[in-house]
């Protein structure tokens, strides 16, 4: 009886031991006792200037932008003089739209010029008269000085002659100064070309007062360029010397124009040129890129100032290695 009870206890103990081994094998970590897996590949370190959590921006061969055509050196808006609070009225226009002009050429005459010209004639005649009188008075003064030395006339008469000479000299100097002022006013009363170029648009006609003082617009149309508005996200790819192809957005000219990036602005601004696409970003920030057109292309569009164009810049061209 006791032997049977002992065998039962041994069987129970063996069953408990087997159950524990089974539980241990099930719950044991899978990697225990096995060689470690190969480490995951190291992440590529971000380049300088890139966000460590963002994917690097792909570099494209071409950068596209909207732009417009204008003469090199920009369009010059020529203003007139102001008569106090109001702008001077234009009395005569000496050029027409499309006329070529040279530096210093008279373009328009303002209303004060006829009066100033008349005043100048009067002052010129007065100055010539005073000059003749002064010459005679100085000759008389010398003669009186010789007579006073011999006692023929008194020194009081000589002093009177000297005072007359001094008065004439003062009157002549004052008239000359007034004449110089008239000449300055006359120069301001005539609008002249600050450079050689072409009259692009006349904004004020004869008999009118200029709005915002602007009379006409002048540009050097022999050398045309394109102002491209490149998105600020693409501007890091643009360098002077890169080639560009320009086409008309609305069919203003056929074919393509060729040019080269001349200058990249250092300022970021809002857009001035907008696409006809309603989904286009109106508030996008852009940088102006000036593209000098080749001579043949420049001549083709010399009369198309401000025409909107499409620009494609080859970022892999024109770079010095």
DSSP β-ladder status, 106-110 and 190-192: antiparallel
Residues whose CB falls within 8 Å of the CB of residue 214, separated by 6 or more in sequence, listed in order: 77, 78, 79, 203, 204
Residues whose CB falls within 8 Å of the CB of residue 173, separated by 6 or more in sequence, listed in order: none
Give the model's pLDDT for residue 168: 93
Counting as low any pLDDT under 70, the low residues of the chain are 1-59, 82-86, 274-283, 319-321
Give the model's pLDDT for residue 85: 55
How buried is residue 57: exposed, middle or buried, by Cβ count under 10 Å (0-12/13-18/19+)?
Answer: exposed
Give the model's pLDDT for residue 210: 82
**Shortest CA distance to 290 belongs to which of 247, 222, 241, 220?**
241
With contact defined as beta carbons under 8 Å apart, do 223 and 70 qualify? no
Give the model's pLDDT for residue 74: 75
Give the model's pLDDT for residue 26: 47
For residue 68, what are its two tokens? 């417009």
Give the model's pLDDT for residue 34: 45
Report the distance separating Cα 176 and Cα 291, nearest Å: 52
For residue 42, what are its two tokens? 């190291």
Q: Which residues partner with 246 through β-bridges?
A: 257, 311
**Shortest CA distance to 306 belongs to which of 77, 62, 64?**
77
Report the distance separating Cα 292 and Cα 244, nearest Å: 9
SS3 (DSSP) at 319: coil
Give the model's pLDDT for residue 44: 41
List, in sequence order, the alpha helices (H) in the chain: 2-27, 113-150, 155-188, 295-300
């Amino acid at each position: 009886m006791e032997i049977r009870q002992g065998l039962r206890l041994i069987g129970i103990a063996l069953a408990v031991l087997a159950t524990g081994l089974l539980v241990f094998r099930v719950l044991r970590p899978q990697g225990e006792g096995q060689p470690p897996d190969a480490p995951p590949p190291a992440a590529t370190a971000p380049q300088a200037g890139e966000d460590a959590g963002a994917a690097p921006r792909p570099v494209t061969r071409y950068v596209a932008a909207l732009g417009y055509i204008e003469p090199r050196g920009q369009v010059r808006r020529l203003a007139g003089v102001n008569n106090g609070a109001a702008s001077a009225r234009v009395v005569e226009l000496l050029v027409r739209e499309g006329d070529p002009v040279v530096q210093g050429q008279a373009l328009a005459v303002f209303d004060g010029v006829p009066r100033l010209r008349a005043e100048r004639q009067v002052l010129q005649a007065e100055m010539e008269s005073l000059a003749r009188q002064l010459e005679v008075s100085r000759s008389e003064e010398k003669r009186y000085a010789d007579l006073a030395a011999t006692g023929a006339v008194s020194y009081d008469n000589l002093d009177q002659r000297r005072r007359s000479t001094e008065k004439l000299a003062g009157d002549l100097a004052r008239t000359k100064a007034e004449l110089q002022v008239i000449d300055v006013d006359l120069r301001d009363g005539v609008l002249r070309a600050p450079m050689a170029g072409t009259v692009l648009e006349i904004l004020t006609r004869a008999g009118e007062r200029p709005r915002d003082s602007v009379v006409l617009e002048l540009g050097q149309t022999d050398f045309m360029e394109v102002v491209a508005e490149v998105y600020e996200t693409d501007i890091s790819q643009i360098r002077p010397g890169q080639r560009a192809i320009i086409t008309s957005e609305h069919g203003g000219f056929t074919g393509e124009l060729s040019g080269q990036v001349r200058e990249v602005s250092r300022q970021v601004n809002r857009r001035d040129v907008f696409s006809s696409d309603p989904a286009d970003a109106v508030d996008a920030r852009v940088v102006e890129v000036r593209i000098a057109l080749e001579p043949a292309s420049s001549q083709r569009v010399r009369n198309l100032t401000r025409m909107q164009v499409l620009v494609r810049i080859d970022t892999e061209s024109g770079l010095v290695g």
